[in-house]
Structure 1
Amino acid sequence: ATADLVGASVVKVPGGDDYDAEKEQQFGNTANVIGTNDSSKLNVFTSHTLGMVEGRHLKASDKHMSMVHEDLAKTNGLKVGDTLTLKANPYDADNESHSTATVKTTIVGIFKGDSDRKVSSRAELTSNTVYTDLDTTSTLYQYKAGKEIYQDATFVLDRGVDVEKTMEAAKKLPVDWNNYQITRNDQYTSSMLNAARSVRSMMRGALIGVTISAVIVLSLMLLLWMNDRRQEMGVLVSLGIGKPSLIAQYLTEMILIGLPSLVLGWLCARGAAQWLGTSALRSVNASAAKELSSMGQVGGDLESNMSVRTLDSLTVSIDTTAVLYVSLGLLAVMLVCVAISRIPMLRKSPRSLSELR
């Protein structure tokens, strides 16, 4: 609904007059009123475009309750528990009955958040959006029972349920799909999802590249080290030490060196991983901004802002699973290097092993 504030003023666009005289007279003190039976499930809140500052969300049992933006509350000295009176605007095209009904609502919550894009009028300001229960919007526009007009309905699926299969099943219901459209709810957060996928892809590529490089460098170093100890092995075998015992000794040495190396690597990785994740996110956001600029001007309203939002920050942590995988990988490299360098030597005589090369 579109409603005028009674005894309160909307937030104005800073630095200019956005309405002409006629529009100022008709919509100068008008707020966008959105009725909902559960504000916590609205896209703007689930995507964290908006967040609660004080109070609570609207729920299905509410009647004549409202939530206001912190800027609107500050402009009018409002707080949770105060009343906000709304009057239906007869000039709104959706107000088919030209209702001027007035509803006094109780403020149950104050939210925060705004578009970071330039707005062209006060109607696009998030500050001038008021959320109310469905009874309030129905009373404002004088809808008769069963004749209300709903913009959308959101259906939340259980975790693990296939969205596409559910949508296909829904389309087989006896509904006139010429008048309705069923879509995925994540279309409003597509930019954030794309950013997450891009960062994941970059991190996966970095992981593969670093792993391959590490395996190659580590293998070469171990092979050179083992090959350099050929004479030592020959001397020890000549003294009566069994070759299996020598293999066990070399593996033990590698493990003793590998354990502190893993600890040092984990400490270094904590900082390096966060730096790498932040760099990847910065690159992805820069690419998204460039793509967005080529698409032309995007509005400053909530839905437009939500559709182009990207990830603000990224927290990277090293979990125990990653450490376990690295440890197993390190052990595998050690075993392979020992096998490659020592198995051929086990077939040689102590004298041939002791020869200088």
Structure 2
Amino acid sequence: MNFLKRAGKSIIARKGKTLIMLIILTVIGSLVLSGFAIQEAAKNAGEEARKELGATVTLQVDRQKQMQERQASGERGRPEQQAISLKEIEAVANLSEVKSVNYLSQATATSSSVDPVTSESTETSDSEQKGPGTMEMPEGMTTPDFSLNGVTSMELINAYTEGTLTVVEGEALTTDSPENSVVIDENLASENDLKVGDTIKLKATTTKQSQKLTIIGLSSSTEATSDAGFQAAGFMDPMNQMYVSNDTLADFATEDGEVSVSSVVYTLKDPATIATFKKEAQLAASDLDWDTYMLDANDAAYQKMVGPIEQVASFSKSVVYLVSIAGGLILALLILLSVRERRKEMGILLAMGEKRSKLMGQLLIETFAVATVAFLITYATGGMTSQFMTDQLLSREVTEATSTVATQTGFGGPGGPGQQMLNSIPQITEMTTNIDWVTLIQVMEIGSLIVFLSVLFPSVALLRMNPKEILLRED
């Protein structure tokens, strides 16, 4: 009798064992399929989160680490601002992943011809006795009126690309702008009867040097100005912030006129290359003290968004491994018991001259036939099963996730603007799983390997004996 026909009759004759094998293979297939589907959904969600946060990486001082070190040594207060020399980091801008670079520097200034915009709360604070919330300048230093932001191009600033900072008249500061150009807030211009084309004179609070600047644009900011820091220090109010080129800022705000920046924002061509860029940047700028500086790709915000889904993906990966191993062992045990029960049948067939390869082929066909039915059931129910598992696992992880990932660096500390921005970023609480051909092929590969190994080892143990040994051997 043809071994294919024997396989078909064997499946029908052993209905109970066939049903048990079908259930086992269906459970294995469903869990493995769900595991792969969840991992793919998590990967897609992570990519979408990266796109939402943007493909920008900021090189800056690791302020959180600085604060921790100062607290450990018993020091108090904010650490001093550390500048980054352009010579140490220019090579990073030439990396293939980089689309554009924005060098940022900061300074403060006063002016005898331009009055800063003062809010009602600031005026009250100046007229009343100084309290704990008021910033008091060290002896010998002048209280600044304005914040000067040195940039490569305003168009590369996050606030500009996000629409919270706009140029309402004139033009934005770019690399093509004339020397000694400045963009000021429209409210500051209105208070001082200034317009595009006028010249203002600023005096740096650090060097006491002065510089005449020509207004090329008026800006408008929608950033909130009610923060306690803005009330205590008027020069930090968005209306008192000006934008100049880094070269202009260095000319009169530094002793040597050499450009040093407080941070660098790299815009990458593809968010997917952020991890690769970080590694290459550290090699390109090997002279930089990487114990002091860090490359931040909105990592805290990213981790808050994708933290729960990464936990779900990790758990589903473990499920795939455990189910594959445990399912394979259970299936192998079931086939071993079936082979032992069919010892007499196998012995007789071998004695009649049937080839061992055909007997093993018969066992494989029987198991693969059941596995095919199990796969069809898995395919039909996989979408519903994987989505149900995803919803349950993600709901648990979101509930257990902490509401704050890490304290953001920069002005404000806990409760400051950086932390408030982090708190405003929502976690990803939903994932949609899709069963595509890649996932199905992965399940088929895993299932085929499990079936093949489960049949191979038990059958080899029996078929390596000769027919006489098989028929005479006692259970």
Q: Please report the TM-score for the alignment, with normalisation by the length of structure 2.
A: 0.46
* Change in CA separation of 1:246 and 1:194 when aligned onto 2, cut-off 3 Å: closer
Q: Deviations over 1:97-143 (max 9, x none)?
A: 366x56434247x666679x96433348674474624189659x967
Matches within 5 A, 1:319-338: 324-338=441-455
Matches within 5 A, 1:262-273: 262=379, 264-270=381-387, 272-273=389-390
TM-aligned CA deviation for residue 186 of structure 1: 1.3
* Change in CA separation of 1:272 and 1:310 when aligned onto 2, cut-off 3 Å: farther
Matches within 5 A, 1:258-297: 258-262=375-379, 264-270=381-387, 272-273=389-390, 276=393, 280=397, 283=400, 285-286=402-403, 288=405, 292=407
Q: Which has the larger radius of gyration?
A: 2
* Change in CA separation of 1:326 and 1:58 when aligned onto 2, cut-off 3 Å: farther
Counterpart among 218, 221, 228 of residue 327 in structure 2? 218
2:427 alignment counterpart: 313
* Change in CA separation of 1:268 and 1:58 when aligned onto 2, cut-off 3 Å: farther
Matches within 5 A, 1:13-24: 19-21=125-127
* Change in CA separation of 1:40 and 1:194 when aligned onto 2, cut-off 3 Å: farther
Name the CA distance, whole Å, in 2 between partners of 1:271 and 1:11. 54
TM-aligned CA deviation for residue 211 of structure 1: 2.2
Name the CA distance, whole Å, in 2 between partners of 1:329 and 1:208. 13
Q: Deviations over 1:310-331 (max 9, x none)?
A: 9643476668656544442232
Name the CA distance, whole Å, in 2 between partners of 1:51 and 1:147. 32
Q: Deviations over 1:270-313 (max 9, x none)?
A: 56447646754665544636xx59xxx826666x5499779643
1:134 alignment counterpart: 245
Identity %: 10
TM-aligned CA deviation for residue 198 of structure 1: 6.5
Name the CA distance, whole Å, in 2 between partners of 1:287 and 1:29. 34
User: Is 2:272 aligned against 1:162?
Assistant: no
Q: Deviations over 1:126-169 (max 9, x none)?
A: 74474624189659x9679x83664446385996562333222x
Count of residue pairs the alignment pairs up: 317
1:174 alignment counterpart: none
Q: 1:334 is paired with a residue of what secondary structure? A: helix
Name the CA distance, whole Å, in 2 between partners of 1:310 and 1:9. 29
RMSD, matched Cα = 6.0
Q: Deviations over 1:153-193 (max 9, x none)?
A: 6385996562333222x46xxxxxxxx99964515846347
TM-aligned CA deviation for residue 29 of structure 1: 11
Name the CA distance, whole Å, in 1 between partners of 2:149 and 2:420. 16
Q: 1:34 is paired with a residue of what secondary structure? A: strand
TM-aligned CA deviation for residue 33 of structure 1: 3.4
* Change in CA separation of 1:106 and 1:288 when aligned onto 2, cut-off 3 Å: same
Counterpart among 208, 221, 225 of residue 96 in structure 1? 208
TM-aligned CA deviation for residue 194 of structure 1: 6.5
Any conservation in 2 of the 1:215–1:333 contact (CA below 8 Å)? yes
2:77 alignment counterpart: none
Structure 2 unpaired stretches of 5+: 1-106, 129-133, 136-141, 269-275
Matches within 5 A, 1:18-57: 19-21=125-127, 32-39=147-154, 45=158, 51-52=162-163
Any conservation in 2 of the 1:2–1:31 contact (CA below 8 Å)? yes
User: Is 2:390 aligned against 1:255?
Assistant: no
Any conservation in 1 of the 2:152–2:245 contact (CA below 8 Å)? yes
Q: Please report the TM-score for the alignment, with normalisation by the length of structure 1.
A: 0.57
Name the CA distance, whole Å, in 1 between partners of 2:120 and 2:156. 28
* Change in CA separation of 1:4 and 1:313 when aligned onto 2, cut-off 3 Å: farther
Name the CA distance, whole Å, in 2 between partners of 1:324 and 1:331. 10
Q: Deviations over 1:61-110 (max 9, x none)?
A: 13446486xxx88x999xxxx969896666x73361366x56434247x6
Counterpart among 157, 174, 199 of residue 59 in structure 1? 174
Name the CA distance, whole Å, in 2 between partners of 1:192 and 1:126. 25
Matches within 5 A, 1:177-188: 184-187=293-296
Name the CA distance, whole Å, in 2 between partners of 1:129 and 1:271. 53
Matches within 5 A, 1:341-352: 341-344=458-461
